[in-house]
Amino acid sequence: MSPKKSTPKPAKKSKGFTAEERAAMKERVKEMKGSGEGEGAVLAKLATMPEPDRTMGKRLHAVIMASAPTLSPKLWYGMPAYAKDDKVVCFFQNAAKFKARYSTFGFSDKANLDDGRIWPTAFALQELTAADEARIGALVKKAVS
């Protein structure tokens, strides 16, 4: 009896990175080569965002710079971010970037926000009120303390 020939199984389609994730990685490579540093780069990125992300991003930028003027604006994976000693402390991810239903304001592990054994590191944003801006300003001050 001759051995049975096995038929190859159809290849499963990879569930790798999305087009948005690949684009963010490409943006990060460009940033590492020197583009994306400074307030001009952040403001230019904010100007390209659709509304209401653009307005929220500009307001966040103003709040962050007023609350912690020692932070350096830069792009990080194509997102506006703010660094201390070249380490990202906080960032703004607009909803359109990954086709999300809300924007995100977040903190990296470099932020000094530890409060016991559990604390928030990211916030969903759909709009900003004066009270929200005050809360974010206080968190940013604490993050860089």
Please give the domain boundaries of the chain with CATH numbers for all domains. 19-143 (3.90.1150.200)
- Residue 130 structure tokens: 């004066």
Considering only CA atoms, which of 136, 142, 141, 129 is closest in space to residue 67?
141
- Give pTM, 2 decimals: 0.79
Q: Among candidates 132, 139, 122, 125, which has minimal Cα distance to 67?
A: 139
Across the beta sheet with 79-84, the strand order is 72-76, 79-84, 87-93, 103-107, 122-125
Query: What is residue 14's predicted lDDT score, i.e. its pLDDT?
Result: 62
Q: What is the pLDDT along the chain (145 residues), one digit of tens a residue?
A: 555 565 556 556 667 888 877 877 877 777 666 666 899 999 999 999 999 999 999 999 999 999 999 999 999 999 999 999 999 999 999 999 899 999 999 999 999 999 899 998 999 999 999 999 999 999 999 999 9
Nearest-angstrom CA–CA distance, 57 and 48: 11
Distances (CA, A) of 125 to 26, 91, 93, 116, 137: 26, 12, 10, 25, 15
